[in-house]
Amino acid sequence: MTDTTQKAALSRPPIITLSNAMPWIVATVFLALMPVIFPSNSAITIMNQMAITIIFALAYNMLLGQGGMLSFGHAVYMGVGGFVCVHVMNYVEDFGVPLPLPVLPLFGGLFGMGLALIVGSFSTRKAGTVFAMISLGVGELIAACSVIIVAFFGGEEGISGDRTYGLPVFGVEFLQQIDVYYLIAFWLLLSALLMYLFSRTPIGRMANAVRDNPERAEFLGYSARWVRFYSFVASGFFAGIAGGLFAINYEIVTEENLNLAQSGTILLITFLGGVGFFFGPILGAILFTLLQTVLSLQTELWALYLGALFVVTVMFFPGGLAGLIMMHTMPLKFGKLGSLVGPYLKTLVPGAIGILGLAAALEIVFHLRHAALGDSEMTLFWTTFDSHSVAPLAIAVIAAVGGFWLAKRAAPGMAEAYHAANTPRGGSV
């Protein structure tokens, strides 16, 4: 027995083990089932948007999380990929080239990679502030080009195309959202798998090393600059794929897809999800898309709440959502996760009440100031009331203050319980 295990340890490990493949199998099943569980058109639209954002966020995290490069202009690689794909779509339609739609994102990827190759050749020489500033400059430059080079970027109205241009692929014409969903889901799985595998290659490992300590990497034979360059090019490729999928999904690409606001959004999404873990950006993209679509239907102030969430994440949970989840692996290992439920509820429930109270107060004030003259009726949390009266505002403020006060009082207990749950034995449970 020992002899065989020793031999097995020396030979090459198997390509796929069940435990390695498990997350990907689960993801495949999950993606296949989602449209069955949520068959409505609007749900599928949200899921398409989500999947595209996940690819883009994962690509962005190849820079930010894996390579330690903070880019303020990464939307250009996705945007250019998108524009190229719309042009290819139109070209194929005009000239009847037999190019099946599912391979179209590859063009987006190649052009995103091509642009990254050019920009990366000078922007990756230094990390840190220099890289960030160059990315900002290039982002602004290309966004400015979009109104100058109208033939390619289509000016303000952008470029639109028709994804049903060609012959059906295995009988699928991509007329319906659900067809597009499966196309996007396929590319999502493939891109995510490739990006994950990239992080396990020598260059992917060295990207981490260069992020941690570029100087030391240089004394180990690696040029930090080339390590950054290769990560950057790979990231540009996957951002371009996301752009191509965007073009297929929306059939229109405009300047808004590559401007600085878009670049800022992907930074926010990636950070929210957590840059320290591979799956972090996936969570970020899901959360952001949900907030963007669901919350924006409820309130005009959704961007404010998102901004506040971002600030809170940066200040208190720099590991993002993924970091927050991974903080609980030790308690789980010690079987003490249950001991946390009580203290968490004691702090988080009043905290949530406080946040909702604060949000209600903001909404009331906003309604008071911005509603049309004579319109004093508003609906909040399924109750309709007069926004000009004092009582609702007072209740909201009391809920906010009271909630935060209770949460603050219970917080030390929660911290104590967390520490206790992180010690293998002993600790007060």
Partner 1 sequence: MNSATTQGKAALELDGLRKSFGKTEIIRGVDLSIGDGERHAIIGPNGAGKSTLFNLITGRFPSTSGKVRLNGQDLAGLAPFQINRMGLSRSFQITNIFPKMTVFENVRCSLLWARGYKYSFWHMVSRAPDLTEAAEAILEQINLTERRDLPAGVLSYAEQRALEIGITMAGGANVIMLDEPTAGMSHSETDYIVDLIRKVTEGKTLIMVEHDMGVVFGLADRISVLVYGEIIATGRPEEVRANPKVQEAYLGAALEAEH
Distance in angstroms (rounded) separating the CA atoms of residues 105 and 109: 6
Closest to partner 1 by CB, 333 vs 408, is 333
Closest to partner 1 by CB, 45 vs 213, is 213
Q: How far is the CB of 133 from partner 1 (least distance, A)?
A: 23
Angle between helices 128-148 and 75-95 (to 10 degrees): 30
Closest to partner 1 by CB, 202 vs 374, is 202
CB 253 within 8 A of CB 246: yes
Q: How far is the CB of 224 from partner 1 (least distance, A)?
A: 8
Closest to partner 1 by CB, 117 vs 209, is 209
Distance in angstroms (rounded) separating the CA atoms of residues 309 and 365: 20
Q: How far is the CB of 200 from partner 1 (least distance, A)?
A: 5
Beta bridge partners of 172: 169
Closest to partner 1 by CB, 174 vs 238, is 238
**Residue 226 to residues 55, 119, 134, 213, 234, Cα–Cα distance (Å):** 24, 13, 17, 14, 12
Closest to partner 1 by CB, 94 vs 215, is 215
CA–CA–CA angle 136, 141, 142 (5° rounding): 105
Q: How far is the CB of 399 from partner 1 (least distance, A)?
A: 41
Nearest Cα neighbor of 264 from 64, 127, 109, 130 is 64
Closest to partner 1 by CB, 12 vs 425, is 12
Q: How far is the CB of 11 from partner 1 (least distance, A)?
A: 7
Query: What tokens does 90 get?
Result: 């139109």
Q: How far is the CB of 411 from partner 1 (least distance, A)?
A: 26
Query: What tokens does 266 get?
Result: 């992907």
Q: How far is the CB of 198 from partner 1 (least distance, A)?
A: 6
CB atoms within 10 A of CB 339: 18
Binding site for partner 1 (CB under 8 A): 10-13, 15, 197-198, 200-206, 208-209, 212-213, 215-224, 226-227, 230, 234
Query: What tokens does 215 get?
Result: 């100087």
Residue 251 buriedness (CB in 10 A; 0-12 / 13-18 / 19+) = middle
